[in-house]
Amino acid sequence: MKRIGFIGLGIMGVPMVCNLCKAGMDVTIIDNGHGNQKAIAELKQQGVHTALTGRETARNQDVVITMLPSGRIVKDVLTGPDGVLAGIRPGTVLIDSSSVAPVESQEFAALAQKAGCPFLDAPVSGGEPGAIAGTLAFMIGGDETVAEGVRDVFLAMGSSAVVTGPNGAGSVTKLCNQIMCFINIAAVSEALVLAQKAGADPKKVYEAVRGGLAGSAILEQKAARIYGRDFAPGGFLESQMKDINHVMETAQELDVPLLLAPIVQQITQSLMQEGRGREDNSCMVTFYEKLAGITVQTKE
C-alpha cells in the first residue's frame, strides 16, 4: 500500500482521491479550513488523513500528487516556506497532474531534482466524468522506470498511463490533446447550429452520425449538453482559455504554424468577455448561435 499526499481538491481532484482510496492507497490531503469542507468531510469518512500544509502533506509519503489550476499555483505549493519541497524526503515521487506549460513542467522537475526527488509531469484527459469513473488517460513526461514504479497509482485513477518523452513531454502531449478536443467542440457546435438552422432536430442529427466516422468522445460528451442547454461545468471554459494560450505560446516558441487553434482561441476569448469562464466549454456553441440567430435545442 503506497502512502500518497494529494494537493488540489477541485472537480477533478476530489474523485481522483476517492479512487485512490478505493484502490487501498493511504492518502493525505490538506485541510486548513479554506478548502471544500463538504468534500473534505466526505473524504475523511473514506479514511483519508488530513494535514495543515503542503510540507506536512508531503512528509513520509511515497508519492505526492498535485492537481492545481495553474503553473503559478503549483510553483507556490512546491516552493513556499510550508510547501511540498520543504517537507518532502529524497526519493519521493512527485507527480504534477495539473495542466501547465511544458517549460513550467521542466522547471518543476529541476526543483524536484534539487530535493532528490524524481518528477513526472502527468496531466490527464477525460474530464470530470473520467475522474469519477476512474478512466482518466495520463500523459506522462519523465523517466520510464519511475513511471513504471507508480503505475498502480496511475491505474487507480485512470485506464491508461503512457510516457511520451522526458520531463515536459507530458505537458506537450496534453496541449496536443487540447488542440484536438477544442477544435472538435467547435466543429460539433458548428454542425449542430447548421442542423438547427436547416430545421433538423440536433438530437436526431447526433444520433444519426454518432456511429459513423464523425463519432467521437467529444461528440458523446458535448452534444447532449449543447442541445439540452446544460452548461454546468464539467470542463471550465476558463481552463480552456489557459490551455489554448499555452498552445499558442508553445507553438510560437517552436515556430510551428497553427491555423485552427488561433480561431478557437479567439472564440474562447470572446466568450470569456461575456463572463462565461465558469461554464462548461460546450458553451462555445453560443458563439455560433449568435452569428446564426438561432438557439440549438432538441424538440424532444
All structural domains of the chain: 3-166 (3.40.50.720), 173-292 (1.10.1040.10)
pLDDT band for position 3 (cuts 50, 70, 90): very high
Least confident of 145-159, 201-215, 233-247: 233-247
Nearest residue to 7 (alpha-carbon basis) of 31, 26, 25: 31
- Retrieve residue 176's grid coordinates: 496536443
Buried b or exposed e, range 51-88, using 16+ CB within 10 angstroms: bebbbbbbbebbbbbbbbbebeebbebbeeeebbbbbb
pLDDT of residue 33: 65
Average pLDDT over residues 176-199: 98
38, 75, 114, 174: which one is catalytic? 174
pLDDT band for position 148 (cuts 50, 70, 90): very high
Least confident of 146-160, 200-214, 234-248: 234-248
Could you tell me if 28 and 55 are in contact, meaning their C-beta atoms sit under 8 angstroms apart?
Answer: no
Task: Please state, in angstroms and rounded to a whole number, the distance separating the CA atoms of residues 125 and 139.
Answer: 8
Residue with cell 481532484: 13
- Give the up-direction half-sphere exposure of residue 180: CA atoms within 13 A in the CB hemisphere: 11
Give phi and psi for 114, each to the nearest 5: -65, -30
Average pLDDT over residues 6-13: 93
Could you tell me if 42 and 101 are in contact, meaning their C-beta atoms sit under 8 angstroms apart?
Answer: no
Least confident of 46-55, 103-112, 141-150, 151-160: 46-55
Residues in contact with 299: Cβ distance below 8 Å, sequence separation at least 6, in sequence order = 201, 203
Average pLDDT over residues 31-36: 75
Give phi and psi for 228, each to the nearest 5: -95, 0
pLDDT of residue 18: 96
pLDDT of residue 157: 98
pTM: 0.92
Task: Please state, in angstroms and rounded to a whole number, the distance separating the CA atoms of residues 129 and 181.
Answer: 15
Length of the chain: 300
pLDDT band for position 34 (cuts 50, 70, 90): confident
174 tagged catalytic: yes
Task: Please state, in angstroms and rounded to a whole number, the distance separating the CA atoms of residues 162 and 144.
Answer: 9
Task: Please state, in angstroms and rounded to a whole number, the distance separating the CA atoms of residues 93 and 135.
Answer: 22
77-84 long-range contacts, CB within 8 A, separation 24+: 77/7, 78/54, 78/108, 78/111, 78/112, 79/111, 80/54, 82/53, 82/54, 82/55, 82/56, 83/53, 83/54, 83/55, 84/5, 84/7, 84/54, 84/55, 84/57, 84/58
Residue with cell 529541476: 110
For strands 3-7 and 63-66, give the pairing.
Answer: parallel
> Is 28 strand, coil or helix?
strand
Average pLDDT over residues 136-161: 98
